[in-house]
Amino acid sequence: MDDPRELHASEGDAKDILIINAFTSAIRERGIDKTLETDLAGFYRAHGVVGETLEQMLERGPRRLRMYRQMVQGRLRRVLRELLPRTVARLGKKRFLADFADFFDDAGSHTVILRQVAGEFTRFCERRWAEAEAVPDFLSDLAKHELLSLEVRNSVGGREPATGLPLALDRPLRFDGTTRLRRYGYAVHSLPLDVDDRSEPEATPSALLAYRDREKYTVRFIALTPRATEVIERLLSGSTVVAALQQGAAAAGETLDDELLAGMTHLFADLSERGVLLGALPDALSDAPPEA
């Protein structure tokens, strides 16, 4: 037979688990604020809390339980408002509260890094925003753009040394480790930064190259033409210059002529000057492409 102390310990564990689960449900569950106030016993019983534990929890009442709920949820909403200020402002108070409540209950956060909650929330909302009549179509792009700033500002890497090798057609290129390319369906990068602004972006497909300034640490954006987007995207994923030019031009529906080559040469020179392009790689395998 089991050691009675062990049996006691596992009973204790089971009780601990029940009360912890009830407590965290009270914090997370959507729309139960009122239930906690009006039917606390029902709430606890539904979570399997009974007997002496239930008696003691009922004695302590709903006030501090609701305080935890408000404290935890309020803090996360504050963080989202700080990290995605324009997206949250354009959602409006009511919609944001509802989106947050669903996110928190249905998905919840699965990172210990507070700033990453912004990406979790955006990914959770993307499809519902696309389907919702009341949410403008460009909102997902705006959220992605706000996330891009956050990502580049905090990105691991950056300030890698130049390779010392001039650009060569048969080689891939090294980019600064903070470089990211994003495509949007709307020109959300042209919207004013003011959170109270409600002007609408043009429905123009846009692509931005973002990187962190080596000296000032600020995030800088370069709007790319469609053909530059195709070429840079390929270079970022490790193609050689010649492959990126050929496939990029084809993907953009353009011919690889002198005019295109001159444009790309000009762009490469500009990116080199900004410290985004750091020269040719000695061989195709020596740098992994930056993470998306």
Partner 1 sequence: MDSHPTGIGLGLRSAIIAEIDAGEADGALAFVEVSPENYLWRGGLALDQLARIRERFPLLGHGLTMNLGGLGPFDDRFFAELKDFLDRHPTPWYSDHLCLCNNGAEFHDLLPVPFTRSTAKRIAARIREASDRLERPMLVENVSYYLALGEVEMDEPEFIAEILEQADCGLLLDVNNAFVNAQNHGFDPYAWLERIPLERVRQLHVAGHESWDEQTLIDTHGADVRDEVYAMMAWVIERTGPLPVLLERDNHIPPLAELLGEVRKLDEVYQQALGRWRRGTGAVPLEVLHG
* 3-state secondary structure at position 184: strand
Neighbouring-strand partners of residue 144 = none
Q: Do 191 and 207 touch, CB atoms closer than 8 A?
A: no
Q: Cβ of residue 180: shortest distance to partner 1, in angstroms?
A: 13
Please identify which residue in 30, 60, 127, 266 interacts with partner 1, judged by CB under 8 A. Answer: 60
Backbone angles phi, psi at 26, to 5 degrees: -60, -30
Nearer residue to partner 1 within complex by CB, 57 or 143: 57
Nearer residue to partner 1 within complex by CB, 156 or 193: 156
Q: Does 289 bind partner 1 (CB under 8 A)?
A: no
Q: Does 150 bind partner 1 (CB under 8 A)?
A: no
Q: Cβ of residue 119: shortest distance to partner 1, in angstroms?
A: 12
Q: Does 35 bind partner 1 (CB under 8 A)?
A: no
Q: Do 126 and 142 touch, CB atoms closer than 8 A?
A: no
Residues 152-181 that bind partner 1 (CB under 8 A): 153-158, 177-178
Site size toward partner 1 (CB under 8 A) is: 49
Q: Does 45 bind partner 1 (CB under 8 A)?
A: no
Q: Do 214 and 158 touch, CB atoms closer than 8 A?
A: yes
Q: How many CA atoms lie within 13 A of 132 on its CB side?
A: 16
Please identify which residue in 109, 149, 246, 247 interacts with partner 1, judged by CB under 8 A. Answer: 109
* 3-state secondary structure at position 8: helix
Please identify which residue in 46, 97, 111, 203 interacts with partner 1, judged by CB under 8 A. Answer: 111
Both structure tokens of 93: 């108070």
Q: Does 67 bind partner 1 (CB under 8 A)?
A: yes
Q: Cβ of residue 81: shortest distance to partner 1, in angstroms?
A: 14
d(CA 40, CA 18): 15
Q: How distant, in Å, are the alpha carbons of 62, 149, 178 from that of 278?
A: 60, 22, 12
Q: Which stretch binds partner 1 (CB under 8 A): 20-28, 141-149, 195-203, 276-284?
A: 20-28
Build a one-symbol-per-residue string for 72-101: x at contacts with partner 1 by CB under 8 A, - elsewhere: x--xx--x----------------------
Radius of gyration of the CA atoms of the chain, in A: 26
Nearer residue to partner 1 within complex by CB, 21 or 265: 21
Q: Cβ of residue 13: shortest distance to partner 1, in angstroms?
A: 5
Q: Do 278 and 162 touch, CB atoms closer than 8 A?
A: yes
d(CA 183, CA 233): 10
d(CA 32, CA 69): 10
Q: Cβ of residue 57: shortest distance to partner 1, in angstroms?
A: 7
**Closest C-alpha to 267, from 259, 57, 172, 45:** 259
Q: Cβ of residue 175: shortest distance to partner 1, in angstroms?
A: 15
Both structure tokens of 131: 């389907």
The footprint of partner 1 (CB under 8 A) covers 9-10, 12-13, 15-17, 19-21, 23-24, 27-28, 52-53, 56-57, 60, 63-65, 67-68, 71-72, 75-76, 79, 104, 107-114, 117, 153-158, 177-178, 212, 217
